[in-house]
Structure 1
Amino acid sequence: MNLEKSVLPDGKETAFTKFNRVVITGGAGYLGSALCHFITSKMKVNCDEIHVYDNLFYNQGTLVSKSLVNDRVSFFKESVLDWSDNLKESIKGADVIIPLAALVGAPLCDKNKELAYNLNYKWYEQLLPYLENQVVIYPNTNSGYGTTGDGVCNEETPTNPLSLYAKTKDDTEKLLLSNYNRTVAFRLATVFGTSFRTRTDLLVNNLVKRAMEDGSISVFDGHFRRNYIHVKDICSAFTFAMNYWPLMIGNVYNLGNDAINTTKLTLVQQVCRQTNASFTHDDSRTDPDKRDYVVSSQKLYDLGYEAKVTLTKGIDEMKKFYSMFDASDDQKCRNY
């Protein structure tokens, strides 16, 4: 990689990088396909080639092909767990590695415990010997905070993972930060919005789907607090880290849109307003997902990053998506 001087949004001078190769695993998924398209179409990163690995676990190839058909993208339909010669060579020659391949979500991990452990944690133990000077941008989940009471979670707040999914991601963050100093770790809020493989099982996206299909939403555990971020803002944060990695390596950053920290009930009310749906309270049910917290991303904001997409815009975006949604794609667009 070649370093040149650049300036952060707040005026601080830092190093801007021209990358020869970026490797993205899970590059045909919800985040990965959006990120590949963001990098190649928005010209936010100066790189010569992107190597994308994905085994198309959800048979989503036709959905994501537009994001991957690009002169700078080389696609490898492979499981990263196989550690093919292709993957080894790609990693050895990479400037940046963004490992998105994972079993994502507590229900999916609970159904596939061994695979979750192997892909979400064990793979990174096997990755470490191949790391020399590459920058690793690792996507953790902020669900590792669990339930934290009335305080606001920052990066110093002790983690308390409540699921196998959260535990494997949290353990991997600790593994990388303890053993490889060129790691940038993000703790992602609940993601919403459209992608090439839009996920319909994520909270905001799913609530819009239920409102439009059923005309009503049943709310339980409405007092639980969550924070959210649009998929485009995640892409923006990842490219921000690529451009300003010298300031960020060795650190963890919460990645959410703090302006839309809200309870489930307030979220449902907003979805219903924008879809002309109704909602009811159901005190007889409880969510097996007991996450309840408020998270601050101020540490990242202080570097000049800004999350821009509002819930209002994201809900409108999902309304348009579902107006064109083909039910035959439903299995390809959800993890569980």
Structure 2
Amino acid sequence: MSRIVITGGAGYIGSLLTGVLLDEGHEVRVIDALLHGGDSLISHIWNPRLRFLHGDVSQAGQWEDLVAEAEAIVHLAAIVGFPACRDVGEQVARRFNVEAVKRVFEVGKNAKRFVYSSTYSVYGVSPDGEAVTEESPLQPQSLYAETKVEAENYLRSVRDAGCAPVVFRFATLYGVSPRTRFDLIVNQFVLEAMTNHKLVIFERDYNRSFVHIRDVIDAIRAALDAPDQKVRGETFNVGSDQGNHSKVDIVHRIQKQIPSVEIEYRDLTFGGDMRDVRVCYDKIERELGYRAERTVDQGIVEVRDAIANRLIAEPQLSRYRNHSFVVQ
């Protein structure tokens, strides 16, 4: 049994990870500012191995006691996505996405492992259309990606500390969790196809990489269990080659599952996070024996059925999107 702290543990990834780790017998300590509410953790509230603390890790507080006692830390707390970072502004984005990383790592310096949630957005574009690797140049196209690069650089600088940092660059997630997000491409497109019966698509030929949320949970578990020499100071892309798709390919796959949807393509760019990238995932498979198993087709069906059967009763609510909140 391990004592694992999850910052941002009520969020899209964190709420699902919390349940998985509790089921495995770990003691789980969740710290979350609850910018999107805390309903995602209700089903675990009576579990004696769960302790929840409402707190903001970008500022000093009681959460520091939990982190100081952790055996492992999974740092998910952040202002996630370029729209959210744009909305809160650079100062707040850097406070949450850079300074908080430094603060949590320093407070948790006695832990054995620090798993950091970054993003493949740091790559920006694929040079000459080639798949990017962990060694490829970083070309962040948004404030969000810039903050992730800065936090990664900090963790690289402390790789020889007692606590072993490992950076995960996640592909774009999809799938259902206790706090599903509908501001992610696959989930969003399925929702719009189900409710509006129409998709308006920009940058149809842009390439993105996608990974199911359950595969992300499996990757985090692999990082927590891996020998120190395999992960200390390392960076891994998290996803699979089969998850590299163009937007138009995603749309065609949705049409197969929701044939009634109407598609409109527009040639218009809007600024922000203009990623066009394919990603290579050889390193994580080679070093950690990890492979993402689920497909976008499975995710489309999963989200479609969750909406159709009203398992998510009001998916239009702002709580299911990361950019519809106010940060002080």
User: Normalized against structure 1, the TM-score is what?
Assistant: 0.88
Task: Report the number of matched residues.
Answer: 311
Query: How many angstroms does 1:125 deviate by?
Result: 2.6
Shift of 1:219: 2.0
Tell me what 1:274 maps to. 257
> Residue 147 of structure 1 aligns to which amino acid in structure 2?
V
- Which of 295, 320, 328 does residue 333 from structure 1 map onto? 320
Q: 1:151 aligns with which of 130, 133, 138?
A: 130
Contact 2:5–2:66 at 8 Å: present in 1 too? yes
- Which residue does the alignment assign to 2:295? 310
Residue 57 to residue 304, structure 1, CA distance change in 2 (3 Å): same
**Take 2:156 and 2:168, find their aligned partners in 1: how far apart are those partners?**
12
User: Is residue 321 from structure 1 mapped to residue 298 from structure 2 by the alignment?
Assistant: no
Quote the offset at 1:68 in angstroms.
Answer: 4.8
Q: State the distance in 2 between where 1:262 and 1:328 align.
A: 25
Structure 2 contact 239–291 (Cα < 8 Å) conserved? no
- Bigger drift between 164-173 and 322-331 goes to 322-331
Aligned to 1:189: 171
**Residue in structure 1 matched with residue 326 of structure 2 by the alignment:** none
Question: 2:103 and 2:214 mapped to 1: Cα distance?
Answer: 30
2:279 corresponds in structure 1 to 295
SS, match of residue 301 in structure 1: helix
Residue of structure 1 in register with 2:204 after alignment: 222
Q: Say if 1:128 and 1:312 are closer, same or farther in 2 by CA, change over 3 A.
A: closer
The 2-side partners of 1:223 and 1:300 are apart by 27
The structure 1 segments of at least 4 consecutive aligned residues displaced by more than 4 Å after TM superposition are none
User: Which of residues 119, 133, 156 in structure 2 aligns to 1:177?
Assistant: 156
Structure 1 counterpart SS, 2:317: helix
Equivalences for 1:79-158 in 2 at 5 Å? 79-84=56-61, 86-113=62-89, 114-130=91-107, 131-149=109-127, 150-158=129-137
**What displacement does 1:133 show?**
4.3
Residues 138/316 of structure 1: CA separation in 2 closer, same or farther (3 Å cut) = same
1:57 to 25, 35, 44: 35
For 1:51-108, what per-residue CA distance to the aligned partner results, in whole angstroms no more than 9, with x for missing partners?
Answer: 100121112x224312454221100112222321x32221221110111110000011
SS of structure 1 residue aligned to 2:35: coil
Identity rate, percent:
32
Q: Distance in 2 between matches of 1:305 and 1:292?
A: 25
Shift of 1:245: 4.0
User: In the superposition, relative to structure 1, how do residues 192 and 176 fare at CA in structure 2: closer, same or farther (>3 Å)?
Assistant: same
Give the stretch that moved more between structures: 251-260 or 128-137.
Answer: 128-137
Matched, 1:26 2:5: no
Q: CA RMSD in A?
A: 1.6
Structure 1 residue 244 and structure 2 residue 218: aligned? Answer: no
User: Among 48, 51, 58, which residue is 1:71 paired with?
Assistant: 48
Can you list the C-alpha shifts for 1:123-171, whole angstroms capped at 9, x where unaligned? 1233343313431000101100001231110000011111110010111
Indicate conservation of the 8 Å contact 2:71/2:110, yes or no: no
Q: Give the strand-richer structure, 1 or 2.
A: 1
CA–CA distance in structure 2, aligned partners of residues 28 and 299 of structure 1: 30
Give the secondary-structure state (helix, strand or coil) at the position aligned to 1:217. strand
* Structure 1 unaligned regions, length at least 5: 1-17
- Residue number in structure 1 paired with 2:144: 165
Q: CA deviation at 1:257?
A: 2.3
1:40 corresponds in structure 2 to: 22
